[in-house]
Amino acid sequence: MPFDIRQLRYAIAAADHGSFYRAARALDVEQSTLSRAILKLERVIGDNIFNRSRAGVTLTIAGALFIRSARPMVANADKMVEMMRAAGQGRAGGLMIGHYNSVSAGNLRATMLGWRDAHPDVDLDGVEADRGALFAGLDTGEIDIAILLGDASHDGFRHEPFWSERVMIALPARHPLAERNLLHWTDLRRERFLLTAADPGPEARDMLLGRLSVSGMQPDIRMHQTSRESILSVLGGGHGLTVVCEGGTGARYPDVVYRPVYGEQGPALIEYSGYWRKDNDNPALRRFLAFVRDRYSLAFDIP
């Protein structure tokens, strides 16, 4: 018959206190319960752990070796229980966040860093991919939550608006518009824009078409099969402008500056939303959603 952790815990307490009576009081159990459990343990291992006397108990030579080996077993068992309890409460485990925007600055970066500081035992990881791949990851459960531009519903997923950030224009430092502290959409109608064909390039293109198109004239937009980082790295050569969100302005590129763009109602803003599966029961996800809700004073409910 194998022994259990409870029996080991009783034996360790008896060794530490030198008495079954004092060990039972420390563990808040009946002395008879503790002594019977230790007796069963000794029968299982085939040797006495304790020398018993009216003065209390002392370890036998074999018992001292046994207790020395039992201590890390009990400590590891306690640690496993605590880890499972923490995971069930969202204080441990893992959380995978999907996105397709830079995290060099802005709210996404601040949120991830703030969450990591508040939940150091949760294994936080991120994956950067296009919208289709992120939704596929949500569907298979590989991603817990995707944080994307816009606020469009998607079948099968819960979504909520999280925060907004300013739209920024990246342009060569020697461009005449770089002398201004802020730009207006009307300043940009004759400019050439370089965008990545990957997400979020198409969303930036649609925004430019909506803001800059006038009767008989469409904005000059060139879509490239390259990354936004590659576009920004050559922008200083004077080949055009590009659009970034405020979260992308933490990365610096040679001879490139960032300027906010304004419309009639003030700074142009773009919204970020979180998407997750309604049946995702990861406790860490629920705690992350509560963290975002409280951080940005939102009002959505969390199942």
Q: Which domains, and CATH codes, for the chain?
A: 5-88 (1.10.10.10), 93-163+270-295 (3.40.190.10), 166-269 (3.40.190.10)
Give the pLDDT confidence of 86-127 residue by residue, as tens digits: 555 544 468 889 998 877 788 999 999 998 898 887 888 888
Instruction: Provide the whole-model pTM.
Output: 0.68
Q: Are 241 and 95 in contact, with CB atoms under 8 Å apart?
A: no
Give the pLDDT confidence of 43-75 residue by residue, as tens digits: 988 899 999 998 889 999 989 999 988 888 887
Hey, which residues does 259 pair with through a beta bridge? 169
Mean predicted confidence (pLDDT) in 189-203: 91
The H or E element spanning position 204 is helix 201-212
| Non-local CB neighbours of 84 within 8 Å, separated by 6+ positions | none
Q: How many C-beta neighbours within 10 Å does residue 195 have? A: 22
Rounded percentage of the chain residues whose pLDDT exceeds 70: 94
Mean pLDDT over the full length of the chain: 88
Query: Quick one: pLDDT at residue 105?
Result: 81
Q: How many C-beta neighbours within 10 Å does residue 202 have? A: 15
Query: Quick one: pLDDT at residue 90?
Result: 44
Asked if residue 283 has a cis previous peptide bond (ω within 30° of 0), the answer is: no
Q: How confident is the model at residue 82 (pLDDT cuts 50, 70, 90)?
A: low
Mean predicted confidence (pLDDT) in 251-264: 92
Whether 247 shows a pLDDT value over 90: the answer reads no
Query: Quick one: pLDDT at residue 93?
Result: 66
Q: How confident is the model at residue 130 (pLDDT cuts 50, 70, 90)?
A: confident
Pairwise CA distance, residues 154 & 157, whole Å: 6
Point out the least confidently predicted range of 3-12, 86-95, 123-132: 86-95
Whether 2 shows a pLDDT value over 90: the answer reads no
Q: Are 23 and 50 in contact, with CB atoms under 8 Å apart?
A: no
Query: Quick one: pLDDT at residue 91?
Result: 47
Give the pLDDT confidence of 40-49 residue by residue, as tens digits: 999 988 899 9
Query: Quick one: pLDDT at residue 80?
Result: 62
CB neighbour burial string for 239-252, b if at least 16 within 10 angstroms, e if fewer: ebbbbbbbbbbebe
Whether 10 shows a pLDDT value over 50: the answer reads yes
Whether 216 shows a pLDDT value over 80: the answer reads no
Mean predicted confidence (pLDDT) in 142-162: 86
Query: Nearest to residue 147, comparing CAs of 136, 159, 139, 155?
Result: 159
Mean predicted confidence (pLDDT) in 188-213: 91
Q: How confident is the model at residue 209 (pLDDT cuts 50, 70, 90)?
A: very high
